[in-house]
Structure 1
Amino acid sequence: MRFRINRSSSTPAYAAPEEPAPAPAEQTLEPEAVEAPLSAHETALVRASVAVVEPMAAEITVYFYAILFARYPEVRPMFPPGMDAQRGRLLRALLRIVDLVDDPENLVRFCGHLGRDHRKFGALAAHFPAVGECLLDSLARYAGPAWTPDIAAAWTKAYGAVADVMISAAEQDEAVRPAMWAATVVHRVPRGHGIAEITVRPHIPYAYAAGQYVSVETPWWPKQWRYYSPANAPREDGTLTFHVRAVAGGAVSNALVHRAAVGDVVHLGPPMGDMVLDAAVHNDLLFVAGGTGLAPIRALVEEIARRGGRHQVDLFLGARTGAELYGVDDMLRMAQRHHWLALRGAVSHEYVPGIRGSLPEVLTEYGPWYQHDVYLSGPVPMVVSASEALTLHGTLPEHIHHDPFDTPVLSVP
């Protein structure tokens, strides 16, 4: 398997920044003559071994981190004190990699994304052999007699390919930007229902595209990162506004909503995600948002306005009750300013004036939408059901854009 990495020979862009970069910030790997890292037989072996150990997945991740920290204690400070969320992310990453092992282009994309994102944890190329050793030892322990030399060889080959892509992506990324950005809280507005708008100003320019999402670390919970979408298109003053809902048991969300104050400093990881305006094929767009999923949709609306309103946009906001119909007043004001934006709100569990029903039901009623690019944001069940309803009525899957809820970079149910 061969990959081409476009490396920059110039001085790193973050050394002496003057202006933010103009376009989507995430660097991408460009595959050249991409071939599957494993043969069909090797792929079958890897997937068969996963089927054997999957019922013991929780135990495997506990064992993996236990032996990793015991054998290589120097890596322990890279992780948070509480490891439950981290173990879940590892498991989802492994399952996704196995799922993509015979899809080399998407495997490169996914692993490159992981490599860039892991820079904020302090991951170095020297760490990858240790992780591979402990991962394969963990799989072998729980696979038992099913772990054959051929399966071990296939896993070794697969892990080597993944590590190579992650390391190359991280090296490329290091040449052009920092691993994380310090940002000062400059504004905080409570919005009720456990939601706060938090505006931060990065200490150095932070380039991102409307619709992307960002990992945030607070000073009260070091090494714990949670992902939020900026609710604004890039601004001249460089600030970003996040809509954060305090989640039960959520350390980071509760800290941001109930504890953060003007002057506090948080850290931002690199921007991620492809739910950006330039991904659209059609001029007619359908935006669908549930709850604080409105944030990236609002940013996209701002971006369209910045570009002169060259798209026609139908926006549906959904909630269980009228009181939970978050951000509708703000979007109504935007619809009054922009003739190309049509707004509808839908409530599923309460009789109120207007549209009643779940978002998938309402989309079906007001469709079809097969001549639109669709952007979905909100709770995972809503995104899944809305996507299924749209494809059932003719919208092509490649024209439906949403954050990758099947990857470890999002905190999802």
Structure 2
Amino acid sequence: MAAAHPVDTGEPEPAEPPLSDHEIHLIRTSLSVVEPLAGDITVYFYAILFTRYPAVRPLFPEGMDAQRGRLLRGLLRIVDLVDDPENLVRFCGHLGRDHRKFGTLAAHFPAVGECLLASLARYAGPAWTADIAAAWAKAYGVVADVMISAAAEDEAVRPAVWPATLVHRVARGHGIAEITVRPHEPYEYDAGQYVSIETPWWPKHWRSYSPANAPREDGTLTFHVRAVPGGSVSEALVHRAVVGDVLRLGAPMGGMVLDAAVHGELLCVAGGTGLAPVRALIEEVARRGGRHQVDLFLGARTGDELYGVDDMLRMAQRHHWLTIRGAVSHEYVPGIRGSLPDVLAEYGPWYQHDVFLSGPAPMVVSAKEVLVQGGTLPEHIHHDPFETPVLSTP
């Protein structure tokens, strides 16, 4: 994303000076003009990119719908951060490192920039001026330089991808499979980080999952995968993958790690397969001698969907510092009833805790709102990014 701090130890500085306020205004104003046509712009962009530079086509998946959405989200994110140099550099550094797994090279960036500006100019029409073109060119130059530098630094210390053999698979019901893989080369990560996975059946399709374990001596990683209807990677991992298949792992990413905590007491909240990174964090607490008190809340719609609770109860029996509560929102069963955000409000306040949230995005957003209202500082609330992780950081 093992060593304690294997990734994200520093960020390259942008080669270009920061954009001026006027340039930032030009970029944001021009984007507001073309944003209603964003879908058409991304289609046009890839059409001219592949026509003018056919050598880049093999870097992309055959089906481009998801890829177009990622380009748009990435572009919007960059524009959102254009007046925040520190986070812009961090975000573009993540992008640069992550793009290594696609085979992206420094030589590809001029082609992408040329076609991106041509696409924006076409759909902006008369609103596209020489000053706006210059501002976009300068901004793209900053982004490209940071991505190229980050990728080069990353290449010096680790591979772009890690082949990994599937060595164990267990069906857990409700469309969930637990798969364990053994990378062919050492794979260093921190408990709580997430990993992108590519299957042999869907080349260039990557989806991110969090290991459900702290680093092990044998180097294996276990993932909890729920099959999502229409999800090429998740359905392949749950319904098609068998022991002996070779997957590919991207570099681990994410900052939802134990070293981010400043308090001795932790609140962990997990919905569904969001239990995976939380379970890894709890294993890491145990590895460090139980120096944290941990309150764990698990949530589901029904008792049958209260995923992994038996396993966590066994962990609580071994570790006196771990307390577990399960909450069910749509079924009358013995125990706690209600949504996780409501239950957190009932059992709080949690302002003296570091909080780790994992699960469906609506649950994470609602839980975070409840916690902040209860006095928890936002910087003490840690969670995975939403959607495509690298496009959502920081």
* SS of 2:304 mapped into structure 1: helix
Paired residues of 1:63 and 1:138 also in contact (CA < 8 A)? yes
* SS of 1:62 mapped into structure 2: helix
Provide the rounded CA distance (Å) in 2 between the counterparts of 1:59 and 1:229. 34
Note the 1:85-234 alignment, pairs <5 A: 85-234=66-215
User: Which letter does structure 2 place at the counterpart of 1:236?
Assistant: E
Which deviates the most, 207-216 or 344-353? 344-353
Provide the rounded CA distance (Å) in 2 between the counterparts of 1:107 and 1:144. 28
Task: Specify the alignment match of 1:15 in structure 2.
Answer: none
Task: Specify the alignment match of 1:378 in structure 2.
Answer: 359
**2:43 alignment partner, one of 62, 66, 80:** 62
Task: Specify the alignment match of 1:11 in structure 2.
Answer: none
Could you tell me how far 1:49 is from its partner in structure 2? 1.3
* SS of 1:47 mapped into structure 2: helix
1:283 equivalenced with 2:248 (yes/no): no
Task: Specify the alignment match of 1:351 in structure 2.
Answer: 332
Distance 1:33 1:250, change over 3 A: closer
Distance 1:36 1:394, change over 3 A: farther
1:167-225 CA-to-partner distances (Å, cap 9, x unmatched) read: 00000000000000000000000000000000000001000000000000001111111
1:62-107 CA-to-partner distances (Å, cap 9, x unmatched) read: 1111111111000000111001111111111111111111111111
* SS of 2:149 mapped into structure 1: helix
1:339-389 CA-to-partner distances (Å, cap 9, x unmatched) read: 111101111111111111111111111111111111110011111111111
1:24 equivalenced with 2:5 (yes/no): yes
Paired residues of 1:199 and 1:241 also in contact (CA < 8 A)? yes
Could you tell me how far 1:54 is from its partner in structure 2? 1.3
Q: CA RMSD in A?
A: 1.5
Task: Specify the alignment match of 1:10 in structure 2.
Answer: none
Provide the rounded CA distance (Å) in 1 between the counterparts of 2:383 and 2:157. 27
1:295-317 CA-to-partner distances (Å, cap 9, x unmatched) read: 00000000000000000111111
User: Identity of aligned pairs, percent?
Assistant: 83
Paired residues of 2:272 and 2:299 also in contact (CA < 8 A)? yes
Provide the rounded CA distance (Å) in 2 between the counterparts of 1:410 and 1:264. 29
1:318 equivalenced with 2:310 (yes/no): no
Provide the rounded CA distance (Å) in 1 between the counterparts of 2:319 and 2:81. 42
* SS of 1:323 mapped into structure 2: coil
Tell me the number of residue pairs that the alignment of Structure 1 and Structure 2 aligns.
Answer: 391
Could you tell me how far 1:28 is from its partner in structure 2? 3.7
1:339 equivalenced with 2:316 (yes/no): no
Paired residues of 1:35 and 1:104 also in contact (CA < 8 A)? no
Provide the rounded CA distance (Å) in 2 between the counterparts of 1:256 and 1:156. 41
Provide the rounded CA distance (Å) in 2 between the counterparts of 1:70 and 1:33. 30
Which deviates the most, 386-395 or 304-313? 386-395
Could you tell me how far 1:23 is from its partner in structure 2? 2.1
Provide the rounded CA distance (Å) in 2 between the counterparts of 1:406 and 1:214. 14
Could you tell me how far 1:409 is from its partner in structure 2? 3.2
Provide the rounded CA distance (Å) in 2 between the counterparts of 1:100 and 1:32. 15
The runs of 5 or more residues in structure 2 that have no matched partner are none
Provide the rounded CA distance (Å) in 2 between the counterparts of 1:183 and 1:222. 15
Could you tell me how far 1:32 is from its partner in structure 2? 6.2
Distance 1:399 1:279, change over 3 A: same
User: Which letter does structure 1 place at the counterpart of 2:170?
Assistant: V
Provide the rounded CA distance (Å) in 1 between the counterparts of 2:380 and 2:314. 28
Could you tell me how far 1:27 is from its partner in structure 2? 3.5
Distance 1:241 1:280, change over 3 A: same
1:247 equivalenced with 2:225 (yes/no): no
Provide the rounded CA distance (Å) in 2 between the counterparts of 1:305 and 1:166. 37
* SS of 1:288 mapped into structure 2: strand
Distance 1:116 1:391, change over 3 A: same
Could you tell me how far 1:31 is from its partner in structure 2? 5.6
Which deviates the most, 57-66 or 33-42? 33-42
Provide the rounded CA distance (Å) in 1 between the counterparts of 2:78 and 2:303. 41
Distance 1:347 1:34, change over 3 A: farther
Paired residues of 2:12 and 2:93 also in contact (CA < 8 A)? no
Distance 1:35 1:80, change over 3 A: closer
**1:299 alignment partner, one of 276, 280, 283:** 280
Could you tell me how far 1:410 is from its partner in structure 2? 7.0
Task: Specify the alignment match of 1:400 in structure 2.
Answer: 381
Provide the rounded CA distance (Å) in 1 between the counterparts of 2:137 and 2:5. 34
User: Which letter does structure 1 place at the counterpart of 2:384?
Assistant: D
Could you tell me how far 1:58 is from its partner in structure 2? 1.1
Could you tell me how far 1:156 is from its partner in structure 2? 0.6
Could you tell me how far 1:130 is from its partner in structure 2? 0.4
Which deviates the most, 300-309 or 401-410? 401-410
The runs of 5 or more residues in structure 1 that have no matched partner are 1-20
User: Which letter does structure 1 place at the counterpart of 2:235?
Assistant: N
* SS of 2:390 mapped into structure 1: coil
User: Which letter does structure 2 place at the counterpart of 1:193?
Assistant: H
Provide the rounded CA distance (Å) in 2 between the counterparts of 1:303 and 1:260. 28
Task: Specify the alignment match of 1:14 in structure 2.
Answer: none
* SS of 1:409 mapped into structure 2: helix
User: Which letter does structure 1 place at the counterpart of 2:257?
Assistant: V
Task: Specify the alignment match of 1:16 in structure 2.
Answer: none
Could you tell me how far 1:232 is from its partner in structure 2? 0.2
